[in-house]
Structure formats: structure tokens, C-alpha cells
Structure 1
Amino acid sequence: MEIKQIILRHLKIELLNPFTTSVGTEYDKDFILVEAQSKSGLSGWGESVSILHPIYNEETVQTNWHMMSDHLIQKLYEPIEHPDEVSERFRSIRGNFNAKSALEGAIWDLYAREQNLPLSRVLGGNKDKIEVGISVGIQKSVRDMLLQIEKYVNEGYRRVKVKIKHEWDIEIIKAIRNEFPHIQLMADANCAYTLDDIEHLQALDEYDLMMIEQPFDHDDIFDHAKLQAKLKTPICLDESIHSVEDARKAIEHGSCRIINLKIGRVGGLSESKRIHDMCERHEVPVWCGGMLEAGVGRAHNIAITTLSNFTLPGDTAPSSHYWKQDIIEPGVTMESGFIHVPNVPGIGYEPARRRIDELTLRQKSFPIR
């Protein structure tokens, strides 16, 4: 591949409903859309998952724009034989995983289009459809939570994840389990607890949860091992895992039994594949988490979830759950709890350019010398 031009677009899209976790509430989503144009006349698309404020990790939309503009794009000037080369070229720049992933994702999409193959197949996936779970934010009342879950269960979602925090945890999970004794249920703590809460968290063992996601600090592996030794319920690590080395250490130390794999968090599809393969060798299941992606990022999630060790339903809900109108055509849809994997070249969806133009706040082009 020879890249002709990289175009960055800063978009803002309004969420249909506010989404609340232990770290705050989101009403809309700012993100960067990446278009990589090749000399062959094709375009590949990627999406940054960073938000405006550094509350999930240290990256933001503004830092992503800076890193891509001033440091990362320059490393794409030479021809690229395979997308795996991109992560190697970026290795000298520490961190900035969201920014790296957005650019690398556009290159992967472009590569798949030039190969005239679906991205899922280029990545090594073999599924025709993927299971869909849903993430439910913190609600105003227990009744509101139960009504939301009832709606999602009736719509066919295969797993329900609920956000928890202090004073919105044990009683909430108990109420949900009493109302829905047989659903696949998990709890996501978003780093809300500490070692002082081990005995408190042990109370969750009673409710047959699939997992408790990231109860301790965003950069912790070792304290999670102490907690997992005290829990019957599997711990799933999210924020702590940025690389295949992080995943290896977590598994070797017994810090978790499941890993949430977010493409943007680990720096792109190439590292996602490496983590997936290592977890599969150690019989640790993975699933694809969501970061309120618009359609391009959602399409990348669908593609990676077709790999064999994604054995648990992910957070890749349909476009209509989040947006009045997505930035891709057609939007992502669900049927009986499954998303059918596109069988056309690239990510399988076409960017809706008129819609993208409507949402674009700023744009900058980078001709490749």
C-alpha cells in the first residue's frame, strides 16, 4: 500500500440517552475519524475512542489530534506491505494507544479493501454472526434499572452488563437477580473499589455473575490477584490491559480469569490479535468491550469479534441503541441477539459522507510525500 493522504476529522454526535458510570455521565460523543486514501483510489477508515476528558485513561480528543498530526502520521510516509508494520513503526512512541489505534484501523480497512476481502477474514476470523450484549449505565432508581433490563431482554440481548459503584452494587445486583434469575449478568465497577472492599465484594458471589469487571485501579494487576483469590466470581480486567505483556502478567499472577479486549485501549487490531492468541493458548476467554463507538469503530469491533477466542457476548450493540443516525450506511443492526458479519470488502459498511460532513467540527489533510 502507498498512502496518498491522511484526513483527520473531529466529529461530535449526540447520544440518544445519557450514559452514566462511576466516573461520570456522557450526553454526546466527540471523536476523531481517520480516512487513509491510497494511490489506488481506495479509502480506509478508523475511529479514535478517546473522549474530551481524561477520565477513562490519560488520552483525550485533543491529545489524539496532536499525536496523530505531529508524530504518528509521519511514520506512514513509506509504503506499507502489511498493517502489522504500523504498530512496529509506532513502537518508538510510548503510550497514546487510542491515537495509534485510530490510524492503524484505517490502514487495516484499506488493506482489506485492496485485498477485496472482508476485514474479519483478513484478521483470521471465521464467524458469520456474533453475540451481542448490552451495557446499562447507573439509573435514577432500582425500578428504572429493572425496566431497562426488561426492555433489553425482550429485545434479545444475550448478556446484560450493569455499572456498579459504592451504594449502587449489592442491593442492585440482588434486585436484578431476583427479577431475572436466568439472564447472563455481569457487573462493571470501572475502578470504584479498593483492597478495603474485598469482604464487601465477596457478597456478589451469591448472585451467579459471569464476571466482575475492573473493580480496582486502572493500572493495577497485583491487587486484583489478591481479590481473585478471595472470590468465586471471575474477575475481568479492562483498563489494566494495554498490551500482550500486560495480559501475560495478569494471567500468570492469577489477577483475572477473563479479559475485556478493547481495540483502542491496546493500540489497534494487531495488538488485539496478539492478546487474543495468547489468551487462547492459556484458555482465558476474551470479549469485545465498547467505548460508545460510532459506526466505523463499531464495525472494527464486529470484525475482531469473529476471532475464535471471543466466546462471550460483547458490547457491540446496534447503531440505533446509541444514535439517531449513525455515520455509516447501513447502520449496524441486530437480529435475535446476533449481528451478522458483513461479507463485503473492508469493514463492511460505507461511511455516510453527507452525515459525516454535518457532524464535522474541524478537518485537516496530510498529503503523504
Structure 2
Amino acid sequence: MSSGDIEVELREAELPLVRPFRTSRGVETSKRVLLLRWSPPGSTAATAGWAECGADPEPTYYPEYIATVRLALADVLVPMAREIAAGDGPLLPRLRAALADLPGMPLAKSALESAVLDAELRACGMPLRTYLGGDRERIPVGVSVGIPDSIDELLDWVSGYLDDGYRRIKLKVRPGWDVEPLRAVREAFGDALPLQVDANQAYRTSDIPHLLGLDAFGLLLLEQPFPADDLLGHARLAADLATPVCLDESITSVGATAAAISLGATDSVNIKPARVGGYPIARSIHDLCAAHGVPVFCGGMLETGIGRAMNLALACLPNFTLPGDISATSRYYERDITQHFELVDGHLVPPEGPGSGAIVDHDVLDDVTTAVTML
């Protein structure tokens, strides 16, 4: 392959959200997203590889953010990939080996590797879920409910999501917004409602006595109450809390996952492929958790259809036994940049076709694009 014949496009887009999404770390009213297109020689619009970067506009959730990812891709990762592509042998395994030798940059690495993977799978006609080893045809999904302005608004939202058919409700919580909303939801919808909470690192170990009180609400799990690096704090909590503890932001690699399991810091794991460096690494984390009897689910980051299609492929693996955060398109967007994915009896159906199966709607994509850079 001639590296000079490869087209690499970075495209930034902004899509308005159906409703604001507030967590303990901030509020979003629109989704600014960085997309990467990898087009090898001879590829067409249908066979080019697409990936969605998990970076936010500002470093409020991850250290990487859109500006730093653009810099990493332009200055380091894409030139490296072009050089590797000019050599002999299949590109993907050689690219993966080179990326593994570079420290940091998981969001940028994931975007590049995922676009290359999508292109190579499209070229050979293989679906991503087959490549990853998944065989499920329907994925049970829940919904993540942001922090509203009032209890009444929360109850309206939850009622609507249950009417839509979601299999599980996850409430975002923070100090001062936990016991009251949980009590209201339980009183309104009953103890049989599958309910969990996500703190996005908002608590500290001094809050353990307070968090133990959440056992009263019969939760499926309590997700990431403490900072990502506080595995010992999570282990302390897990030892006394009847509610299972789930780790999310702490899960940054296979090694971090192994450490969390070894310490007893987690009973389940939220796998976000972008955060760990891509889908093959996410599969390895899935396999590690399966070997230790730790169930997993696929987390969400308000993805467009490009990221949602890839997440659905990952969630076809057998240890994704908990309903994921891969919500339907209409949960977030009136218009998406691919085909829509909507609930069927509380499930989403992974798309057919090679690669991720996402079909980019170039008219919509052009409408929401704010910047295009060829690398």
C-alpha cells in the first residue's frame, strides 16, 4: 500500500441534544464530536472506515480533549500509521503493536485504530461483531438519566423512558442529590424497577457512612462513587455495602481492571472502549472479567450512530450480561449522522453489514459539520 494514497480526514461536528444532560461533572446541551475517516487506496464512500473519538471539548472528564486529540493524531499517530502502511504485511496488527508501545493518548489511539479496523473489515466483508467474537442478535439496554431541575421533572423523565421500553434506569447522583430522588423513584415506580446509580466520582471515602444508606433502595449497583485512582477506597466500600459496586472511570486498561478485581474493589465493570484504547482492548477486558465471574456492560458517552454501532458490536460478547448504556438514537438526537437505532422490546439490534454496519448520512453530516481537516 502506498501511504500517499491514503486519505485521512478529521471532521468536527455538533449535534443538539433532545434535552440537556447533567451529571455531577457538568451539563451538556449539544454534542461536539470529533470523527476520523480512514480511506485506503481504492476505497469508496461505502468502504471507508469511520470512527468516533470519545474526547470532549474540554478536559472535564478525561485528560485528553478534542484539541489535544487533534494534535496527537496530526503530529504523531497518523504519520506513524502512514509509515507503517507503506511497509509489508497487514496493517492492523502492526499498527496495534506500534500503538501499544506509545504511552498515553487512549482516546486518540482508539479513534485511529477503530477507523482502520472499520475500513479493513468493510474491505473483507466481515462484521465487527464477528471479528470481536460476539454472536448475540439483540442487546438489552437501559437508559442513563441526567440530573434534572426537580423531582417532578425526574419522575416525568423516568416515566417516559419506561413507556419507551427501557429495561433498566440509571440515575446520575451527587452529594445532595441521591436519597431524595431515589426515594421518589421507588415510591412512584415500585421496588421491582431495575434501578442503579452513577456518581461519576462525586463522593469521597468520608461519605462511606452516607453511601451505606443507599442499600435501603435495592439498587442493582452503585457506579464509580470515588475518584478513579482510589481503588482502595472502593474496596473499603465494597466490603461493607450490600449493593454491588461498579467501576467505570477506574477501568483504563487490562492491568487496571486486574488490579481492581484483585483488590475486591469492584463487583461489575462498565467498559468504555474509547477510554481503554479501542475495541480489541475492550474485548480483552471483557475476557478478563468473564474469567473472574465479574459481569460487564457497555457504557455510553452520548455517541452518534458511528460510535453506537461499534458499541453494539462489542456488546454482542457473552459476558455483557448487564443492560448497557447504549440508548436509542431518539434518547439523544432528533437527527443522527447515520441510520437510527431504536428500541425493539427493550433491546437494540446491531446493524447488519461489514465493519461497524454504520451507514453515514453525508447530507446530515455536512449540515452538522463545523470543521474539516485532511491529514
| Paired residues of 2:11 and 2:36 also in contact (CA < 8 A) | yes
Q: 1:295 and 1:289, CA in 2 relative to 1: closer, same or farther beyond 3 A?
A: same
For structure 1, the residue ranges without an aligned partner over 5 or more in a row are none
Pairing 1:43–2:26 present: no
**Which residue does the alignment assign to 1:59?**
64
SS of the residue aligned with 1:70? helix
Choose which of 118, 140, 143 in structure 2 pairs with 1:134: 143
Measured after TM superposition, the shift of residue 121 of structure 1 is: 1.0
| Paired residues of 2:122 and 2:354 also in contact (CA < 8 A) | yes
Aligned 1:151-162 pairs, distance under 5 A = 151-162=160-171
**Which residue does the alignment assign to 2:283?**
273
Count of matched residue positions in the alignment of Structure 1 and Structure 2: 365
Aligned 1:113-152 pairs, distance under 5 A = 113-152=122-161
Aligned 1:246-265 pairs, distance under 5 A = 246-265=256-275
Please tell me the residue identity of whatever aligns with 1:69: A
Deviations 1:149-190, CA, capped at 9 Å, x for gaps:
111111110111000011110121122122222111100001
SS of the residue aligned with 2:270? strand
Measured after TM superposition, the shift of residue 2 of structure 1 is: 7.0
Farther-moved stretch of structure 1 (177-186 vs 120-129)? 177-186
**Which residue does the alignment assign to 2:98?**
89
Please tell me the residue identity of whatever aligns with 1:136: V
Aligned 1:272-291 pairs, distance under 5 A = 272-291=282-301
Alpha-carbon distance in 2 for matches of 1:118, 1:167 = 45
**Which residue does the alignment assign to 2:325?**
315
| Paired residues of 1:198 and 1:230 also in contact (CA < 8 A) | no
CA RMSD, 1 decimal = 1.4
Deviations 1:333-358, CA, capped at 9 Å, x for gaps:
21111111222111112111121122
Alpha-carbon distance in 2 for matches of 1:194, 1:300 = 34
SS of the residue aligned with 2:129? helix
Pairing 1:239–2:249 present: yes
Measured after TM superposition, the shift of residue 82 of structure 1 is: 6.0
Farther-moved stretch of structure 1 (247-256 vs 170-179)? 170-179
Measured after TM superposition, the shift of residue 81 of structure 1 is: 2.1
Normalising by structure 1, what TM-score? 0.96
| Paired residues of 1:84 and 1:270 also in contact (CA < 8 A) | no
Normalising by structure 2, what TM-score? 0.94
Pairing 1:208–2:230 present: no
Alpha-carbon distance in 2 for matches of 1:31, 1:155 = 26
Alpha-carbon distance in 2 for matches of 1:262, 1:30 = 18
Aligned 1:178-217 pairs, distance under 5 A = 178-180=187-189, 181-217=191-227
